[in-house]
Chains A and B, each alone.
Chain A
């Protein structure tokens, strides 16, 4: 890959099931062209990883799905791992998650499998400095825009060291395997009967194996359409991250970072933007519930903004 003013680089020696380069902003403003936002599935975790190594929050980092990532650094640098708490090793020594770890020149940083959560984020001081595509370094796994998924042997350039120091501490939330996601009903809750809406909000859901950066398919109750809507077709319409789309099977899908820009099945509810980060940490088998969000004025405290 091209080096753009890079001062050092890292060489990938293992990737786990899937590692991609992501940033928190992705590519907003281009959905009308069919280009989705993309970016980190758990933006809060990547922001925190960046803060821990003194990067701007917008710097690109690595999103490792179910651990297994390893790389060597060419120069001594600080690295932070956040999100799913994968065991961290620097060479043969265990390291910590949620704090800056020094990796000496030539040493290898390695992630094991996280006991909870799904996606770990690795920020390197200076950020991953691959070439931007449409203003972002994020990999959109569906549109094929941005850098390719990280592969063994890739040499990833690291950007210039930021002028401010590595901070002492940062607060990390717990990653849980059971979650409550707050939703706003609609835009198409009227396509479902009152009983189906009550079931959507009242019952527990399990994340199936069909879970990736596009979305997570859930198993649980079957959400039936309202009388008269059983066979109706919805003209495709725009969807956003967090949209809970219900195909004819009645089993909902929660859209994540690489969701399609439009969808042809009714969206019963949309997860609050802040809660979509936690949705990005739900692994197959994890359970969740949806809870109707209170009025806007009551939401701030929990969204952490």
Chain B
């Protein structure tokens, strides 16, 4: 994998890679054994940001990142548990998703429950995870206009990602169902269930 290490002030580095799969691999390797001095590790679609405690930590962290070995996805999947999330598949956009994908409603549910999802990165609101699946059969555009309020627990699709709204918020994802699994709890640390690297399987109920 190609890694481009870009400067980010005197307390950060932005590592750019070629694909989301490379982000997952690099983030997993760094999260398992963070370089000394790293305070925050922020995966995104093509990058991993590292924020360090002090400017003095930067050079060693950059060296580590350039040479860090990563495990193959199959090896990573052999480790760690899978969180199961029960979903009632009655979302308002289920018919639109079926139309976009050329699947029936039942086939959409089967495609959603039938693959293992990995939280790739967080975005747009605290605790919202972008879940990457094993195939792109459920890839759909965002809704043409956002809803002003999507309830907590709504399960959606956008692009090649799935996601669950941890708290009620505006949102433009195509909604296929809902869960009462608690995904955001400030009395727990970490407060989110959908942390990058976590693996999720959805179950119809």
A98 to B154, CA, bound (A): 51
A122 to B127, CA, bound (A): 32
Q: Which of A28, A135, A236 is close to B45, meaning CB atoms less than 8 Å apart?
A: A236
> Quick one: given A270-B7, A271-B9, are A31 and B58 in contact (CB under 8 Å)?
no
Q: Mark B62-95, 1 if CB is under 8 A from A, else 0.
A: 0000000000000000000000000000000000
A32 to B44, CA, bound (A): 9
Q: Which of B14, B41, B191 is close to A32, meaning CB atoms less than 8 Å apart?
A: B41
Q: Which of B7, B58, B127 is close to A187, meaning CB atoms less than 8 Å apart?
A: B7
- Residues A29 and B39 in contact, CB atoms below 8 Å apart: yes
A-side contacts of B43, CB under 8 Å: 32, 238
Q: Which of B10, B44, B49 is close to A299, meaning CB atoms less than 8 Å apart?
A: B10
- Residues B6 and A31 in contact, CB atoms below 8 Å apart: no
- Residues B196 and A32 in contact, CB atoms below 8 Å apart: yes
Contact count band on B? 35 or more
A199-258: which residues lie under 8 A (CB-CB) from chain B? 235-240, 242-243
Indicate if A34 sits at the interface (CB-CB under 8 A): yes
Q: Mark A120-143, 1 if CB is under 8 A from B, else 0.
A: 000000000000011100000001
- Residues A187 and B124 in contact, CB atoms below 8 Å apart: no
Contact count band on A? 35 or more
| Nearest Cβ on chain A to B49's Cβ, whole angstroms | 3
Question: 13 new A-B pairs (CB below 8 Å) besides A34-B126, A134-B189, A238-B44?
Answer: A28-B51, A32-B42, A32-B122, A32-B196, A34-B124, A184-B8, A184-B9, A187-B6, A187-B14, A235-B45, A237-B45, A261-B123, A296-B58
The 4 A-B pairs with the shortest beta carbon distances in the complex, nearest first, are A238-B49, A270-B9, A238-B42, A187-B6
A interface residues, Cβ below 8 angstroms from B: 28-35, 37, 133-135, 143, 145, 183-188, 235-240, 242-243, 261-262, 267, 270-273, 293, 296, 299, 305
